[in-house]
Homo-oligomer: A and B are copies of this chain.
Amino acid sequence: MSTKIVIYDTTLRDGSQAEGISFSLEDMVKIARRLDEAGFDYVEGGWPGSNPKHEEFFQSIQKIPLKRTKIAAFGSTRRASLSAADDPNLRALVESGAPVATIFGKSWDLHVTDALRIPLEQNIEMIYDSVKFLKEHCEEVFFDAEHFFDGWKANPAYAISALKAAEAAGADCVILCDTNGGCIPSKIQDALNAVFAEIKCPVGIHAHNDSETAVANSIVAVQAGACQVQGTINGFGERCGNANLCSIVPTLRLKLGLDCLSDEAVANMTSLSKYVDEVANVVPNDKMPFVGRSAFAHKAGIHVDAVMKQPLTYEHIRPEQVGNARRVLVSELAGASSIVMKAERYGVDLNKKSPETKDVLDQITRLENQGYSFEGAEASFELLLQKSVGTYHKLFDLKSFRVMVEQRGTDPEPTTEATLRVVVDGQEMLTVAEGDGPVHALDNALRKALVQFYPEQIKHIKLTDFKVRVLDAKEATAAGVRATVESTDGKSSWNTVGVSANIIEASWHALVDSVEYGLLKMMAKENGS
Contacts and interface: CB of A to CB of B under 8 A. Distances in A.
Interface stretch (A122-130, A165-173, A304-312, A352-360): A304-312
A289 B212 contact: yes
Interface string A2-40: 000000000000000111101010110000000000000
Contacts of A290: 210-212
Nearest to A250: B211
A440 interface: yes
A210 B216 CA distance: 12
Given A219-B185, A501-B437, A407 B401 contact: yes
A179 B303 CA distance: 11
B19 A297 contact: yes
Chain B CB within 10 A, most for which of A223, A286, A467, A478 = A478
Interface string A179-194: 1111011100000000
A373 interface: yes
Contacts of A317: 182
A283 to B, nearest CB: 7
Tell me which of A210, A402, A467 has the highest count of chain B C-beta atoms within 10 A of its own C-beta.
A210
A211 to B, nearest CB: 6
A251 B211 contact: yes
A9 B125 CA distance: 52
Interface in A454-501: 462-474, 476-479, 481, 485-486, 500-501
A466 B470 contact: yes
Contacts of A508: 407
Interface residues of A, number: 124
A205 to B, nearest CB: 14
A473 B283 contact: yes
A299 interface: yes
A400 B407 contact: yes
A202 interface: no
A63 interface: no
Contacts of A285: 285
A313 B436 contact: no
B502 A436 contact: yes
A294 to B, nearest CB: 5
A336 to B, nearest CB: 16
A403 B404 contact: yes
**What 6 A-B pairs are tightest by C-beta distance, nearest first?**
A182-B316, A216-B216, A463-B476, A437-B502, A440-B477, A212-B247
